[in-house]
Amino acid sequence: MRARIEAIVNGGLGLARIDGEVVFVDYAIDKELIEIEITQKKKGYSKGRIKSIIEPSPHRIEPPCPYYTLCGGCDLQHIRYDHQLEIKKGIVKNTIKRIAKIDVQIAGIHPSNMQFGYRKRVDFSCLKGRWGFLKKGSSEFIGIDRCLLADDAINDYIKNNSCMRKTRIEIDDKGRINQKQMYLDIGVGKPLTYRLGAFSQINRNINIKLIERITSIAKQTNSKTAIEFFCGIGNFTIPLSLNQISITALEWDKNAVLSLKDNIKAFGIKNIAIQRANLMQPFRINTEFDLAILDPPREGARYVAEWLRRRKVNWIIYVSCEPSTLARDLFMLKESYTIESVELFDMFPQTHHIETLVLLKLK
């Protein structure tokens, strides 16, 4: 069956229609004419694979990774990088329009300086001492010798060491692997420290760009007090506090809270108050704030959005790594807030994933 790919949607899938029925196809590119084989029928849509490409996109390239299409990692490696960025703009814009019923304009996208070798943390699978990943959509093990997205030091490590039970390999900004205390350069003169297991962004260059942008926005809003949800180890907390903003920082992960306390002490900061709170369930905070910042996991921030809708903080900076849950939360907030800007930060080249920064203003 022939079909034209209409767009690449969230998940990195090509969307086509055959006899009015939606078909999702891996490793396609928008506007390509392809021959499709249906592999799975679902209620309301089907899944398919490319049998042949009749009219290839000018943006199609030969992926450099020998494991591409086998492991469950990359899904855009067959596309030129400049077009990957355009696809991600479309994914965010269309997802927000479909779920939140808001037509947003993307102010811009910040590309990654490194399109490969940018990952500072990789979760491997392990089989009989061999490093690898699971095949896409299955539990089948794919052994690898090198991951093109991983930092060179991580690849050197898996080359020279057999895998054991511990399969997460993380390198810090001092070149150390899997130490109890790790270092994260955030561009403020000296690095943050964090305890192994606490979350840190894997693309350091983009993380610094994101921090700089958030700090700039906070200055523009003239905010003096802020509440930060999912504050983690202080990735945004420390830079904002250094810019004379008093912050109430909320986090549930114990390693992250301990790391943030270490960083507050190391920087000699007096204007941060930490509260340990599970933000994935209803919570109560009655203090007033000028600015709210949130950077939730992929599950989004349903209860935080509900709190913000009631409390009516003047400004919100929402950082998201998942467009669908971001759109769900924006739908909850749109009656009380207007979207001032949407910017994208390409934290994850060669994949459909994207970091989105949304600035909202109280109506």
Active-site residues, by number, are 321, 355
First vs last C-alpha separation in the chain? 50
- Residue 293, token pair as written in the block: 């910042």
Dist. CA 312–CA 291, nearest whole Å: 10
Phi, psi of 251 (to 5 degrees): -160, 150
CA dihedral 7, 13, 15, 21 (to 10 degrees): -170
Phi, psi of 2 (to 5 degrees): -95, 145
At how many degrees (to 10) do helices 302-311 and 323-333 cross?
20
Amino acid identity of residue 311, one-letter, is R
Helix (H), strand (E) at residue 177:
none
- Residue 175, token pair as written in the block: 């070149």
Q: Are strands 108-110 and 45-55 parallel, antiparallel or unpaired?
A: unpaired
Helix (H), strand (E) at residue 297:
none
All residues at 6 or more sequence positions from 118 whose CB lies less than 8 Å from its CB, including other chains: 112, 149, 151, 202, 203, 204, 205, 206, 349
Dist. CA 287–CA 340, nearest whole Å: 25
Q: Are strands 181-184 and 246-251 parallel, antiparallel or unpaired?
A: unpaired
Tell me if residue 193 falls in helix, strand or coil.
strand
Q: Are strands 108-110 and 337-345 parallel, antiparallel or unpaired?
A: parallel
Residue 196: CB atoms within 10 Å: 15
Q: What's the half-sphere exposure (Cβ side, CA atoms, 13 Å) at 293? A: 31
All residues at 6 or more sequence positions from 58 whose CB lies less than 8 Å from its CB, including other chains: none
Residue 280: CB atoms within 10 Å: 16
